[in-house]
DNA sequence: AATACGGGGCA
DNA sequence: TGCCCAGTATT
């Protein structure tokens, strides 16, 4: 039954395999880049990023020497941005330790940043033909159905067991094709919702199918729902020297969306997770104005602009966006000087969660650290990496501004 | 073992 | 609109 599986799967792969950019060469660098991009990400999404990435960073050395912001910009919109940071750190490892060549040694490959058990197996087998298993979600789904395995695939121990099984199934000298065939079957035929069993090369001996339980496999504990977060967001239009520009800030070096750029935003409410974003516009804008002043950019509220939502795996953001106009040091709407507004905001328990400082502020001791900020035009967006939600807001704003709708 | 970490596709 | 998908690092 096992030999049948491997032979028929390989035969099917010969004719069914997709023509993918990283399958056109055997370049270990291309295989590596593609495998990192494919973590948690669909093939169709990855393809344009892959082309852009290898055009911008043709060799490992190019990647190692590039400014980090360039790498992040190239990854913009792809998500899980630590992958990009780890990838560049790993490229530097490869240059320093392995002369710029992807190592073919298992321990060395596994030691690269961002390379875990799956990616190590994929690189070793696909790029170097070594008989290592490469067990991802597709593979676990296929194996759990074919062998009717009811272990919870969310448990790490299950992946280890699947690796043992997958390793045994690799035909002599065929690791590269076999591992890709396994994943290709999961992606094209043995799909999560309604598998195309009639098109499956190994249907005859599929234990899950024979038992009529294929759609109930693999067994998998459900993920928790993302917790909602309500945030007030400021779209501050520059005046005077900054006329025609919008204020953006850079996020902290670690954590969510590390080092990416965003519009300033603060929690709508503190310590009331169930309360939602029900704060009336007036108080909401006052709160935002105080936060902006505290960050060194006093501004006058113009009114509500739009709402936006963004879902991460663990957080659901509800953003209420307000327009502001850059003010002088004395905030006309509150009558407070910037420093007083700042103090008032701090006293009220304000924070700039996620936007905290990358460098200490230039102010006197006791001043809260200031985030790095910039006044940008639409053209400046080409060099700064933004999460999708802010890309949407900024593009809509600049579009409407251009059309004279604002 | 549990949690942090994006974004897209589908019914 | 709501649910599904799922590798690596960190703790």
Contact indicator for A72, A81 with CB cutoff of 8 Å: yes
Q: Return the pLDDT at A185.
A: 97
Enumerate the nucleotides of strand B whose atoms come under 7 Å of any protein CB. 1, 3-11
Q: Is the pLDDT of residue A127 over 60?
A: yes
Q: Is the pLDDT of residue A353 over 60?
A: no
pLDDT-derived band at A358, boundaries 50, 70, 90:
very low
Q: Does the A2-216 domain belong in CATH 3.40.390.30? A: no
Comparing A77-81, A272-276, A384-388, which segment has the lowest mean pLDDT? A272-276
Q: Which residues contact A32 (CB under 8 A, 6 or more apart)?
A: A102, A119, A123, A127
Give the distance, in angstroms, between residue A34 CA and nucleotide B3 C1': 26
Contact indicator for A50, A36 with CB cutoff of 8 Å: no
pLDDT-derived band at A84, boundaries 50, 70, 90:
very high
Nucleotide with smallest C1' distance to residue A222 CA: C4
Q: Read off the tokens for A91.
A: 């490229």
Protein-strand B interface by C-beta, 7 A: A 40-42, 44-45, 77-82, 155-157, 193, 224, 255-258, 310-314, 387-389
Q: Return the pLDDT at A367.
A: 47
Among A2, A35, A132, A243, the active-site one is A35
Whole-angstrom Cα distance, residue A279 to residue A286? 11
Contact indicator for A228, A311 with CB cutoff of 8 Å: no
Sorted by where each begins, the domain ranges of chain A are 2-216, 227-402
| Residue nearest the C1' of B10 (CA based) | A193
| Residue nearest the C1' of B2 (CA based) | A155
Q: Read off the tokens for A303.
A: 């009114």
Tell which CATH classification among 3.90.79.10, 3.40.50.1370, 3.10.20.30, 3.40.50.720 matches the domain A227-402.
3.90.79.10
Give the distance, in angstroms, between residue A330 CA and nucleotide B6 C1': 39
Average pLDDT over residues A76-93: 97
Q: Return the pLDDT at A363.
A: 37
Whole-angstrom Cα distance, residue A236 to residue A211? 61
Whole-angstrom Cα distance, residue A128 to residue A361? 50
In A99-245, where does DSSP find H-type helix?
Answer: 106-110, 117-122, 128, 137-146, 156-169, 175-188, 207-210
Q: Return the pLDDT at A223.
A: 86
Closest by Cα among A90, A19, A27, A96 to A58 = A27
Nucleotide with smallest C1' distance to residue A119 CA: C7
pLDDT-derived band at A360, boundaries 50, 70, 90:
very low
Q: Provide DSSP, A72-133.
A: HHHHTTT--THHHHHHHHHHHHHHHHHTTS---SHHHHHTSTT--HHHHHHIIIIIH-----
Give tens-digit pLDDT for A168-186: 999 999 999 999 999 999 9
Whole-angstrom Cα distance, residue A51 to residue A57? 10
| Residue nearest the C1' of C7 (CA based) | A39
Q: Read off the tokens for A161.
A: 């067991």
**Phi, psi dihedrals of residue A229, rounded to the nearest 5°:** -135, 135
Give tens-digit pLDDT for A30-42: 999 999 999 999 9
Q: Read off the tokens for A236.
A: 């501050």
Average pLDDT over residues A99-106: 97
pLDDT-derived band at A273, boundaries 50, 70, 90:
very low
pLDDT-derived band at A222, boundaries 50, 70, 90:
confident
Enumerate the nucleotides of strand C whose atoms come under 7 Å of any protein CB. 3-9
Give tens-digit pLDDT for A309-339: 999 999 999 999 999 999 975 544 554 555 5
Eight-class DSSP state of A261: E
Q: Read off the tokens for A64.
A: 């190692």
Q: Is the pLDDT of residue A214 over 70?
A: yes
Q: Which one is predicted more confidently, A261 or A347?
A: A261
Contact indicator for A15, A102 with CB cutoff of 8 Å: no
Residue in the structure block whose two tokens are 């065939």: A181
**Consecutive H or E run containing A41:** none
Give tens-digit pLDDT for A189-212: 999 999 999 999 999 999 999 999
Q: Read off the tokens for A314.
A: 């663990």
Whole-angstrom Cα distance, residue A385 to residue A390? 10
Average pLDDT, chain A: 90
| Burial label, A349 (beta-carbon count in 10 A; 0-12, 13-18, 19+) | exposed
Give the distance, in angstroms, between residue A249 CA and nucleotide B9 C1': 31
Q: Is the pLDDT of residue A395 over 80?
A: yes
Give the distance, in angstroms, between residue A30 CA and nucleotide B4 C1': 28
Q: Return the pLDDT at A168.
A: 97
Q: Which one is predicted more confidently, A51 or A279?
A: A51
Comparing A144-148, A226-230, A395-399, which segment has the lowest mean pLDDT? A226-230
Whole-angstrom Cα distance, residue A243 to residue A401? 13
Q: pLDDT > 70: what percent of chain A?
A: 88
**Consecutive H or E run containing A68:** helix A68-75
Average pLDDT over residues A44-68: 97
Q: Is the pLDDT of residue A342 over 70?
A: no
Whole-angstrom Cα distance, residue A33 to residue A44? 15
Q: Return the pLDDT at A278.
A: 76
pLDDT-derived band at A347, boundaries 50, 70, 90:
low
A35 catalytic? Reply is yes
Task: Cite the beta strand spans of A170-252 per DSSP E.
Answer: 227-237, 246-250
| Burial label, A67 (beta-carbon count in 10 A; 0-12, 13-18, 19+) | exposed
Average pLDDT over residues A4-9: 98
Give the distance, in angstroms, between residue A47 CA and nucleotide B7 C1': 15
Q: Return the pLDDT at A362.
A: 37
Strand partners, A321: A233, A306
Q: Which one is predicted more confidently, A391 or A278?
A: A391
């Amino acid at each position: 039954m096992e030999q049948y599986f491997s032979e028929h799967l390989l035969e099917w792969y010969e004719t069914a395999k997709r023509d993918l950019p990283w399958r056109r060469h055997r370049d270990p660098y291309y295989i590596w880049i593609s495998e990192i991009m494919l973590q948690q990400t669909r093939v169709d999404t990855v393809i344009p990023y892959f082309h852009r990435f290898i055009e911008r960073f043709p060799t490992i050395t190019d990647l190692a020497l590039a400014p980090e912001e360039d790498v992040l910009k190239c990854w913009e919109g792809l998500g899980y941005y630590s992958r990009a940071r780890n990838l560049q750190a790993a490229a530097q490892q490869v240059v320093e330790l392995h002369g710029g060549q992807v190592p073919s040694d298992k321990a060395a490959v596994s030691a690269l940043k961002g390379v875990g058990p799956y990616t190590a197996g994929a690189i070793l087998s696909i790029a170097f033909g070594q008989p290592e298993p490469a067990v991802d979600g597709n593979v676990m789904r296929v194996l759990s159905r074919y062998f009717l395995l009811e272990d919870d695939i969310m448990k790490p121990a299950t992946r280890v067991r699947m690796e043992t099984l997958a390793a045994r199934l690799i035909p002599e000298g065929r690791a590269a094709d076999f591992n890709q065939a396994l994943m290709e079957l999961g992606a094209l035929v043995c799909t999560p919702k309604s598998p195309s069993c009639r098109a499956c090369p190994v249907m005859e001996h599929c234990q899950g199918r024979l038992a009529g339980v294929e759609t109930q496999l693999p067994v998998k504990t459900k993920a928790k729902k993302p917790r909602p977060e309500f945030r007030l967001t400021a779209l501050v239009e520059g005046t005077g020297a900054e006329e025609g520009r919008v204020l953006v800030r850079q996020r902290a070096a670690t954590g969510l969306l590390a080092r990416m750029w965003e519009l300033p935003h603060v929690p709508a409410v503190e310590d009331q997770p169930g309360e939602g974003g029900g704060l009336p516009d007036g108080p909401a804008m006052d709160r935002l104005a105080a936060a902006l002043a505290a960050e060194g950019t006093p501004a006058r509220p113009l009114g509500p602009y739009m709402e936006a939502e963004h879902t991460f795996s663990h957080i659901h953001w509800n953003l209420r966006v307000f327009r502001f106009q850059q003010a002088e040091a004395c905030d006309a709407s509150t009558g407070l000087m910037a420093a007083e507004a700042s103090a008032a905001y701090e006293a009220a328990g304000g924070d700039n969660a996620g936007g905290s400082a990358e460098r200490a502020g230039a102010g006197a001791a006791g001043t809260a650290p200031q985030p790095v900020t910039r006044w940008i035009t639409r053209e400046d967006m080409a060099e700064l990496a933004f999460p999708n939600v802010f890309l949407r807001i900024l593009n809509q704003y600049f579009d409407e501004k251009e059309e004279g709708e604002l």
